[in-house]
């Protein structure tokens, strides 16, 4: 719709927007492959220059996007095959060689808002080991190598009165983890990617950015340790749905004049930019995909020790 700016946390969609505008962009590399057995398409977007980062609206780094349509479908094993694919991609982004590490997993979001509860629910299903290993040693798990995994659910500023970054930074200073993994719900620009896509990046995250509520960033620069961010888009901008529907209708009718008119008039409903939509079965979906994410993290940290 002309100059209409869609909101998205996915680097893949930001790259697609530039491609749609027929704009050449140097400093961005894209790799794509398809895992047929798992029905998962993986796209890796690598932003190498500051100019490319500015054009994309994303920090320099690596963004791995897994598109798995089956994620929204009920499954007794919570899509174990997708968790295994996710674990493999996560291992590739985790810093350091295959050695024991202290890992802090942070579940961002508001547990009482279903579409924003991905982080807290994923933390619920993690295999937490730090306290046991510190108290009884690795013999408690009958193994010689063991990652020390701890977890944090910082809540939201409206409840705590503190920035998420303040809470996480304090815990990092006290516990000295080797790496921080952050889980958060994201916003997409396309309904086809809602709850079907996992993004993993080594650039950290800005809590609340998906719905325009920008908070202090959680990055390696701000925390002093590498930060891996994991997210699943659970909401889409309402204005995006309206514009996509109008575009589709007008394209089918080949009404180019009306399309141009709507493009000029798109700012007449800016109130839609503060509305976000999600599916009616979001409670069941969040429970399912949060378990998929937590199992992927558990597998990744276990596989590093094998």
**Least-confidence region, from 6-20, 117-131, 201-215, 289-303:** 201-215
Q: What is the mean pLDDT of the chain?
A: 84
pLDDT tens-digit readout, 35-47 = 998 899 999 999 9
Nearest C-alpha neighbor of 130 from the set 183, 181, 182, 175:
175
d(CA 217, CA 268): 32
CA distance 189 to 101: 36
Query: Per residue in 222-281, pLDDT tens?
Result: 999 999 999 999 998 877 777 767 767 766 665 555 555 554 444 455 666 677 888 889
DSSP-derived 3-state class of residue 167: helix
Q: Are strands 28-35 and 197-201 parallel, antiparallel or unpaired?
A: unpaired
Cα–Cα nearest to 110, from 197, 193, 184, 165: 184
pTM, whole model, 2 decimals?
0.86
Is residue 210 scored above 50 in pLDDT?
Answer: no
What angle separates helix 238-253 from helix 256-265, to the nearest 10 degrees?
Answer: 160
- CA 251/CA 201 separation, integer angstroms: 35
């Amino acid at each position: 719709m002309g100059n209409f700016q869609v909101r998205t946390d996915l680097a893949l969609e930001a790259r697609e927007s530039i491609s749609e505008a027929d704009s050449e962009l140097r400093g961005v590399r894209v790799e794509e492959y398809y895992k047929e057995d798992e029905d998962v398409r993986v796209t890796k977007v690598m932003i190498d220059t500051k100019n490319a980062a500015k054009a994309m609206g994303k920090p320099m780094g690596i963004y791995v996007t897994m598109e798995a349509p089956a994620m929204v479908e009920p499954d007794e094993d919570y899509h174990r095959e997708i968790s295994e694919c996710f674990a493999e991609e996560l291992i590739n982004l985790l810093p350091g060689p295959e050695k024991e590490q202290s890992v802090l997993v942070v579940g961002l979001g508001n547990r009482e808002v279903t579409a924003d509860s991905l982080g807290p629910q994923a933390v619920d299903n993690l295999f937490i080991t730090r306290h046991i290993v510190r108290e009884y040693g690795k013999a408690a798990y009958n193994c010689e190598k063991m990652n020390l995994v701890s977890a944090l659910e910082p809540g939201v500023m409206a409840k705590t009165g503190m920035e998420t970054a303040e809470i996480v930074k304090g815990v990092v200073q006290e516990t000295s983890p080797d790496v921080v993994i952050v889980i958060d719900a994201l916003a997409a620009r396309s309904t086809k990617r809602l709850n079907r896509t996992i993004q993993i990046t080594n650039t950290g995250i800005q809590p609340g950015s998906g719905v325009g509520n920008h908070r202090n960033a959680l990055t390696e620069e701000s925390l002093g340790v590498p930060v891996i961010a994991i997210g699943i888009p659970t909401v889409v901008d309402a204005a995006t749905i309206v514009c996509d529907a109008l575009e589709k209708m007008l394209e089918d009718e080949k009404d180019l004049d009306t399309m141009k008119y709507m493009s000029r008039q798109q700012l007449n409903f800016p109130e839609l930019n503060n509305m976000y939509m999600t599916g009616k079965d979001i409670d069941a979906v969040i429970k399912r995909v949060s378990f998929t994410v937590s199992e992927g993290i558990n597998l990744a940290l276990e596989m590093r020790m094998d």
